[in-house]
Amino acid sequence: MLEQMVSAEKEPNKSARLFARAQELIPGGVNSPVRAFRGVGGTPLFIESAQGPFITDVDGRRYIDYVGSWGPMILGHADPEIVAALQAVAAKGTSFGAPNQLEIELAEEITAAVPSIEMVRMVNSGTEATMSAIRLARGVTSRDKLIKFEGCYHGHADSLLVKAGSGVATLGLPDSPGVPASLAQHTLTVPFNDATAVEDVFKQHDDIAAVIVEPVVGNMGCVPPQEGFLQTLRVLTAQNGALLICDEVMTGFRVARGGAQALYDITPDITCLGKIIGGGLPVGAYGGSRELMRNIAPTGPIYQAGTLSGNPLAMTAGLITLRRLKDETVYAELERRSAQLCDGLSSIAADAGVKTITNRVGSMWTSFFTEAPVTNWETANRSDRELYGKFFHAMLDEGVYLAPSQFEAAFVSIAHTEEIIQQTLTAARNAFQALT
């Protein structure tokens, strides 16, 4: 078992006490559903601090963290350069509600790295980015309908909470409670990796504005695209006068510097970004060609705004992160360590007689507790949730923090050294033995 820090706090299990207190004030005791541990059981950990590959809870227990704030912490937690820069920038003001130079510099970094983005608009979350991208697509095509894929999550905007995977799947909620039927009917869902189904939908509808896709799904666990799938989406949208929206909130600068679109050689019309481009601070962005983006106000008629958009704190953390990721060795090292981790987990599970399928693209991965390949929501949903929950808690006991849901991706950062990977595999070996 990994060495764990001993807390000076006299109360045992302070997380449980805080959770009870939170439930009186916050719905479910959490500000985002997956944090409630409903997918794995037990009481959620309340985190007090984080550094490098570690998080430490309020009871003083330290864990190797593979959640990474759901993806943005590619440099590790509390990176010293980012922290120092944020302290300096915060002293000058945290938000101006006016233009600043930093947002131009971050836009330059993004457009240089992602060729499909010639102009970019900063927003404050991935939900804002996808919502705005869809409004843009509907505005320029004068069409209403949207194709999305079962199990893909694109934020909590009304038209997107239809077969949305992630927290919705974890909690077993209806597809879209609170969403008017008149709005939901404009969202058409098909299985991920099923190009034929997309083609059939286009044959049935001539008013489709866009197809929105996570090029590598992260919100039913990590599910890669099958060969040719994304390319077919590109062809079908172009043939039918619809736009292709790549939701790279999770994959942008994660699976490659140019995102999944660089990895799979496709050119979307609109790209949505988030997470890494804010270096751990709240951020989002959407972008595309100059011609397309000039339809956004104030140069065009399609309205979108945000008081905190482009704020200096998020721009600073994002700039430092993206500039560090220019180092060509970073992604090679992330690939090597992630492969070492995932290959090790698969081998250890097999040795223990536990059937798992581990999907990985770059430093993004999920171990599904199932024996069949996971290629879409139907196959992901066959996973043994109960067994995953037991493994999750066994890993917690060993000092490793995984996603508290079978249907979320995990992430490796550059702070996860080879030694940390080996410690994780040792913990996994003990955890699988505990299961069997």
Residue-wise DSSP of 191-256: -TT-HHHHHHHHHH-S-EEEEEE-SSB-BTB-BPPPTTHHHHHHHHHHHTT-EEEEE-TTTBTTTB
Which residues face 273 on adjacent strands? 285
On whether the 80-324 domain is CATH 3.50.50.60, my answer is no
Domain residue extents for the chain: 14-78+328-435, 80-324
pLDDT value, residue 393:
97
> How much of the chain is in helix, strand and coil states, percent to nearest 5?
40, 15, 45
pLDDT value, residue 161:
61
Which positions are annotated as active-site residues? 153, 247, 275
The gap from C-alpha 56 to its chain's centroid, in whole angstroms, comes to 22
pLDDT value, residue 9:
40
The tokens 């000039």 sit on which residue? 294
pLDDT value, residue 424:
98
pLDDT value, residue 2:
45
Which residues face 287 on adjacent strands? 120, 271
pLDDT value, residue 429:
98
CB 89 within 8 A of CB 316: yes
pLDDT value, residue 178:
74
Give me Rg for the CA atoms of the chain: 21
Pick the CATH number of 14-78+328-435 from 3.40.50.720, 3.50.50.60, 3.90.1150.10, 2.60.40.650: 3.90.1150.10
Successive 10-residue mean pLDDT values, the chain, 436 residues: 42 88 95 92 96 97 98 98 98 96 98 98 96 97 94 79 47 55 82 95 95 96 98 98 98 98 98 97 98 98 95 98 96 98 98 97 98 96 96 98 96 98 98 92
Encoding tokens for residue 80? Answer: 């010293």
Encoding tokens for residue 296? Answer: 């956004």
Provide CB contacts within 8 A for 31, sequence distance 6+.
Answer: none
Residue 333, burial from CB neighbour count under 10 angstroms (0-12, 13-18, 19+): middle
Among the listed residues 180, 197, 177, the one whose alpha carbon sits nearest the alpha carbon of residue 189 = 197
Dihedral (C-alpha) 364, 367, 337, 412: value to the nearest 10 degrees?
A: 40
What pTM was computed for the model? Answer: 0.93
Encoding tokens for residue 62? Answer: 């330290």
pLDDT value, residue 12:
63
pLDDT value, residue 156:
76
Same fold yes or no, 14-78+328-435 and 80-324 = no
Integer distance in angstroms from the first to the last C-alpha of the chain?
17
